[in-house]
A and B are shown apart, each in its own frame.
Chain A
């Protein structure tokens, strides 16, 4: 997979209000042994010193690889799902006192270079959450099934929202301290992406979007949701949004 260079970004981001040292980069991971080391190393090479992998009960060497690459690791004893790992990352950020967190996927589909765009949007001071969207400027190489799945998810999520979001399922997000303190997500699975948006809105948090690019590889395609998981995610999300308070 072609990797962009990060070296010239450091000086740019250093001139901004938000410093890399204030940011915790949170990477939820489940059985990502083949990829996690590379992802962590790539993020660190972009100048972000605090990389935290939330190992969601992996059965492979995810934890060891992440540690070797220089990440901190918080380990779930058993697998609880992407949403549970994401919320553990938020809890850990509270504990560690990070001013900001950026979450990205562990399968290598996100480009750490795009974190700069999220930071710049956050630095405008208008948003508590910034989402990296694959669909503002349609990222190349996204499989048609994924596009269709995301369109349906957007419809479902936007139905419960005031705003309209182009990529409600993006795992590439930046949260400021207020969002870190406010968000308590209840969904364990992939539905957390939508839940975070709905809960944030209901708590008066503003959400912005910036375009990002993604690289879908055979590996990352094997990691995403299939139709069965998508249906389960939708049912769980609807159950949560209709029958429970989302605060």
Chain B
């Protein structure tokens, strides 16, 4: 099998991210759920890069899409939506934390002023 450059680079990048996830998990900075989900994702990216025609044809057949190029486009759109959801969720989480912090500071400052008075 003749490999294109991207078929070497993409799996290497995927391995790098899996290694990073494992390292974060070891340091208790990532949960088991994050490690498993992240590893599966990067592994599938690596495999997809190694066998692009095989998988794009499979996806096209699975969803009844006529050409494998369309299948790749739909697959990528799905991924983008997934990341959009993750980002939205993350931003919401940060906003909740920021509001809680702002409230805590406001109430503590008010209490301090009352004690001073």
**Within the complex, what minimum Cβ distance (angstroms) separates A151 from chain B?**
28
A84 near B102: Cβ-Cβ < 8 Å: yes
Cross-interface CB contact of B99 among A54, A72, A80, A92, cutoff 8 Å: A80
B111 near A188: Cβ-Cβ < 8 Å: no
Q: Mark B89-117, 1 if CB is under 8 A from A, else 0.
A: 00010011011001101110111000000
Rounded to whole angstroms, the CA-CA distance of A124 and B68 in the bound complex is 69
Closest partner residue, chain B, to A75 (CB atom): B106
Closest partner residue, chain A, to B101 (CB atom): A77
Closest partner residue, chain A, to B105 (CB atom): A77
B102 near A76: Cβ-Cβ < 8 Å: yes
A186-B96, A188-B95 known; A77 and B102 CB under 8 Å?
A: yes
CB neighbors of B among A71-96 (8 A)? 72-78, 80-81, 84, 87-88, 91-92, 95
A77 near B99: Cβ-Cβ < 8 Å: no
Q: Mark A60-75, 1 if CB is under 8 A from B, else 0.
A: 0000000000001111
Secondary structure type dominating chain A contacts: mixed
A74-B110, A95-B111, A188-B95 known; A87 and B102 CB under 8 Å?
A: no
B105 near A84: Cβ-Cβ < 8 Å: no
Rounded to whole angstroms, the CA-CA distance of A186 and B111 in the bound complex is 23
B95 near A74: Cβ-Cβ < 8 Å: no
Q: Which residues of A contact B111 (CB under 8 A)?
A: 95
Mind listing 14 A-B residue pairs with CB under 8 Å? A54-B106, A72-B110, A74-B107, A74-B110, A75-B106, A77-B105, A80-B103, A84-B103, A87-B103, A88-B106, A92-B110, A95-B107, A186-B96, A239-B92
A-B pairs, 6 with minimum CB distance: A84-B99, A74-B110, A88-B103, A80-B99, A76-B102, A74-B106
Beyond A95-B107, A188-B99, list 19 extra A-B contacts (CB 8 Å).
A54-B106, A57-B102, A73-B110, A74-B106, A74-B107, A74-B110, A75-B110, A77-B106, A78-B98, A78-B102, A80-B99, A80-B103, A84-B99, A84-B102, A84-B103, A88-B106, A91-B107, A95-B111, A239-B92
